Structure 1
Amino acid sequence: MKTKHLNSVITAIILALSFSFLYACNEEDSINELNENSINELNDNLNAQELNDSDKEALLFMLEEEKLARDTYVFLDNLWSINQFANIKNSEQSHMDAVESLLVQYGIDYKILPAGQFTDKTLQDFYDQFISDGSKSAADALQIGATIEDLDIVDLQEYIDATSNTSLIAVFENLKCGSTNHLRAFLKGIENLGDTYTPQFLSVDVYNSIINATNQKCGRV
């Protein structure tokens, strides 16, 4: 790969990850600036290894799963005008951009379908159900937001555990970090309505560790 193209990919990933946390979920969130050493580390990660078939499938799936979050939040924001959806939909676009940048870097063919459409049938079924349930009330919509982040964290961790590719691990860890911030933001909205959330995918122990933690500055790779 030409150096100029690689540098543009690195820049795109850095910007995507950074903007993801610019659009974090409340006024207490902030961006963790990437210093020169962090950029050099990302550069090393991107040059480290080739992708195997499982890694490629992970990237393609996570591109659509981040799209699931973005499309659902755009729909629910238009319907309910809740701050969490307005803010986090932009972050989910940045998550998509980060995954897409890796797909471009590794020369993997991909296609982003129109809003609300997914290649993966499971994700399509999730979207259809989330839109239906989230349209019932603002409280139901916030439950859907928490459920999506719950699912996202679990899938990202499974892909992190399954790969030795350092570039995937670096990006997926940052996306997972953002998703834990998003989950806490949705839980705050749920609690403000006097409601509670029961984890659908996370184990109880992991869920409790997330909700008892403070928001993280996820920009450093």
Structure 2
Amino acid sequence: MERQLILLREQVKLARDVYAAMSTRWNTPMFQHAAAVEGPHMASVKLLLDWYRVDDPVRANPPGVFSDRRLQTAYSHLIAQGTPSLEDAYKTGAAIETELITLLLDLTGDSCPRDINLIAQALLTSAQSNLASFTRLVDRQRGSLADGRERRSSLSTTLVGAGSGSWSTR
């Protein structure tokens, strides 16, 4: 459980930091909103770390700096991936949310303490909402295709490559 909380804290920071960078680069409401909501999410996870007396991996790390070297590498990769175009930036956001959802699903259920489960459920709902928003925005950037299922299938294929655990530390 401790390892998962540490990972969650840094992955939420990763999301916040990438979204803040994409907000600066693209100046879109989605990235502004996503970066803003990740701050309170980080605070929620910090409360759990404090409660369970787990050292905070984030400490006073500035944006873009991570204790886990894999997440440090991931940050650089995600920034590079989201910089060429707004569509690429939205795909990057969707990949981040997909990774967060996978981690959060591991923290929900009967085997987790109730306090962790409640916070994980709230973060999961937010991540699912963000994923849906990023998916819609990717579709808008691509223009409408004749068949909505084809759009979803195309994005799913993209996300499998982008968020396939290549930067996960699970």
Report the TM-score, using the length of structure 1 for normalisation: 0.63
Answering whether residue 38 of structure 2 is matched by residue 97 of structure 1, we say: no
- 2:132 alignment partner in structure 1: 184
- 1:139 alignment partner in structure 2: 87
Kindly report which structure 2 residues correspond to 1:1-221, keeping only aligned pairs within 5 A, or say none.
55-112=1-58, 113-160=61-108, 163-194=111-142, 196=151, 197-198=155-156, 199-200=159-160, 201=163
CA distance 1:148–1:132, change in 2 (3 Å): same
In the TM superposition, what whole-angstrom CA distance separates every residue of 1:115-152 from its partner, at most 9, and x where no partner exists?
11111122112111100111111111011001000111
Amino acid at match of 1:97: A
For 2:95 and 2:16, how far apart are their aligned partners in 1? Answer: 13
Kept in 1, the 8 Å contact 2:91–2:134? The answer is yes
Instruction: Identify the range of structure 1 (69-78 vs 106-115) with the bigger mean alpha-carbon deviation.
Output: 106-115
Structure number with the higher helix fraction is 2
Amino acid at match of 2:14: L
Ranges of 4+ aligned residues in structure 1 off by more than 6 Å? none
User: Which of structures 1 and 2 has the bigger CA Rg?
Assistant: 1
How many matched pairs? 148
**Other structure's SS at 1:160 match:** coil
For 1:162 and 1:128, how far apart are their aligned partners in 2? Answer: 36
Structure 2: any 5+ residue segments left out of the alignment? 144-150, 165-170
- 2:167 alignment partner in structure 1: none
For 1:93 and 1:159, how far apart are their aligned partners in 2? Answer: 20
Structure 1: any 5+ residue segments left out of the alignment? 1-54, 203-221
Amino acid at match of 2:21: F
Amino acid at match of 2:23: D
Shift of 1:161: 5.1
Kept in 1, the 8 Å contact 2:9–2:57? The answer is no
The one of the two structures with greater contact order (alpha-carbon pairs below 8 A, sep at least 6) is: 1
What RMSD over aligned residues (CA atoms) do the two structures have, in Å?
Answer: 1.8
CA distance 1:162–1:72, change in 2 (3 Å): farther
**Other structure's SS at 1:180 match:** helix
Shift of 1:162: 8.6
**Other structure's SS at 2:108 match:** helix
